[in-house]
Amino acid sequence: MGNQYKLADLAQKLDARLEGDGESLITHIAPLDKAQAGAITFLESSAYKKHLAATHATAVILAAEHAAECPVNKVIVANPYLAYAKISSLFDPAPRVSVGIHATTVLGRNYSFGKDIAVAAHCVIGDRVVLGNGVEIHANCVIGDDVVIGDNTKLYPHVTLYHGVKIGKNAILHSGVVVGSDGFGMANDNGQWEKIHQLGSVVIGDEVELGANTTIDRGALEDTIIENGVKIDNQVQIAHNVRIGAYTAIAGCVGIAGSTKIGKYCMIGGGVGINGHIEITDRVIVTGMSAVGKSITTPGIYASGIPAMPHRAWWRVLNRMSQLEELIRRVNALEQKK
């Protein structure tokens, strides 16, 4: 049986106003239109209000403006979506690794481990590795020499940390993450490529989350840096010497070229491509599938690209674009005759 909580205890955790039976037991979280007895749900926007009157949930987290329309127990807060986020961890069924080091683990020399370390089967841990208290490492992870991992950080299966990487406290690295692989540095010698060995490392702050199969390259001479609280989705590529400011969020399939600096509190949409050697200031939002080719110095929302359209319409657009050069030439000629 999963976790269960009294509604009054959840309301207290959220510093919420409770209207209803605080002794009701909550066993799970469910969507507003599908919730049944035992579930707590939430109303995050007016778009879902049509489901409120008919909900079968035991309780609803909602704003005061919607409380009168709620037929069940009410947990009243200023930001229902944030409240849902705060209690979601209480119902997370993800398994934990048992405290201790599995017998199949390969351990290097001169390591330093804190209290309550949990290491699952078939992990490889190199020389001089430092693990803080409560670090949890799932199966088949590889941790290179001289890696430092802060307290309560969790590595899911098949994470690879190259030598010298540093990760802060309370971080989460999902399956397939690779941190510290070589940046893409080459010098051209008459058509042939001479590899530039990457001599920096990667430094990741506290409370950072890296999505599955995300890769972060080590710096060429200085470190690649991910500051505190950054959240990165799946399949993101971060090249060498990039710096990402605190509390920036990056959606899936973003590619960031080398030596780019992204400020704090930014939001980068899915599929965005960001050029190298540019800077993006704090509090910038870049919408999905945009291409950022030059620095952004003013906070705000930025977009580029052409949205999907019917195939025939797209070919008409392409045809007209191909005629633009000729059209501009003719306009310039007419201007000169005036």
pLDDT digits (tens, 9 = 90+) for 14-69: 999 999 999 999 999 999 999 999 999 999 988 899 999 999 999 999 999 999 99
Same domain membership, residue 279 and residue 256: yes
CB 143 within 8 A of CB 180: no
Same domain membership, residue 110 and residue 80: no
Query: Does some domain include residue 307?
Result: no
Same domain membership, residue 224 and residue 79: no
Q: Domain end: 34, 58, 91, which one?
A: 91
Average per-residue pLDDT for the chain: 96
**Overall domain count for the chain:** 3
Residue 72: give the domain boundaries. 5-91
Query: Does some domain include residue 54?
Result: yes
Same domain membership, residue 200 and residue 66: no
pLDDT band at residue 2, thresholds of 50, 70 and 90?
A: confident
The 3-state DSSP class for residue 192 equals strand
Same domain membership, residue 141 and residue 9: no
Q: Domain end: 25, 57, 91, which one?
A: 91
Name residues whose C-beta falls within 8 Å of residue 14's C-beta, 6 or more positions apart in sequence: 61, 75, 77, 83, 86, 87
Give the pLDDT confidence of 185-225 residue by residue, as tens digits.
999 999 999 999 999 999 999 999 999 999 999 999 999 99
What pLDDT sits at residue 47? Answer: 87
What pLDDT sits at residue 101? Answer: 97
The 3-state DSSP class for residue 335 equals helix
Angle between helices 311-322 and 324-337 (to 10 degrees): 40
Give the pLDDT confidence of 164-193 residue by residue, as tens digits.
999 999 999 999 999 999 999 999 999 999
Least confident of 144-148, 160-164, 317-321: 317-321
Instruction: Identify which has the larger pLDDT, 308 or 85.
Output: 85
Least confident of 107-121, 134-148, 306-320: 306-320
Same domain membership, residue 81 and residue 38: yes
Same domain membership, residue 87 and residue 104: no
The Cα–Cα gap between 319 and 66 comes to 52
Q: What is the mean pLDDT of residues 264-284?
A: 98
Same domain membership, residue 256 and residue 109: yes
pLDDT band at residue 338, thresholds of 50, 70 and 90?
A: confident
The 3-state DSSP class for residue 49 equals helix
> Quick check: 337 pLDDT over 90?
no
DSSP letter assigned to residue 40 = E
Which residues are catalytic, by number? 240
Q: What six digits make up the tokens of 32?
A: 């507003």
Query: Does some domain include residue 336?
Result: yes
What pLDDT sits at residue 183? Answer: 95
Question: Judging by DSSP bridges, how do beta strands 186-189 and 160-161 pair with one another?
Answer: unpaired
Q: What is the mean pLDDT of residues 269-284?
A: 98
Same domain membership, residue 215 and residue 153: yes
Same domain membership, residue 109 and residue 77: no
Share of the chain residues as helix, strand and coil, in percent rounded to the nearest 5: 15, 30, 55
The Cα–Cα gap between 330 and 186 comes to 45
Model confidence, pTM: 0.91
CATH of the domain at 191: 2.160.10.10
CATH of the domain at 80: 3.40.1390.10
> Quick check: 1 pLDDT over 80?
no
> Quick check: 307 pLDDT over 90?
no
What pLDDT sits at residue 308? Answer: 86
The count of C-alpha atoms lying within 13 angstroms of the C-alpha of 276, restricted to the half-sphere facing its C-beta, is 11
Same domain membership, residue 132 and residue 213: yes
Distances (CA, A) of 287 to 43, 266, 269: 26, 11, 5
Q: What is the 3-state secondary structure (H, E, C) of 90-101?
A: HHCCCCCCCCEE
Least confident of 22-31, 294-303, 325-334: 325-334
Q: Domain end: 56, 91, 126, which one?
A: 91
Same domain membership, residue 82 and residue 39: yes
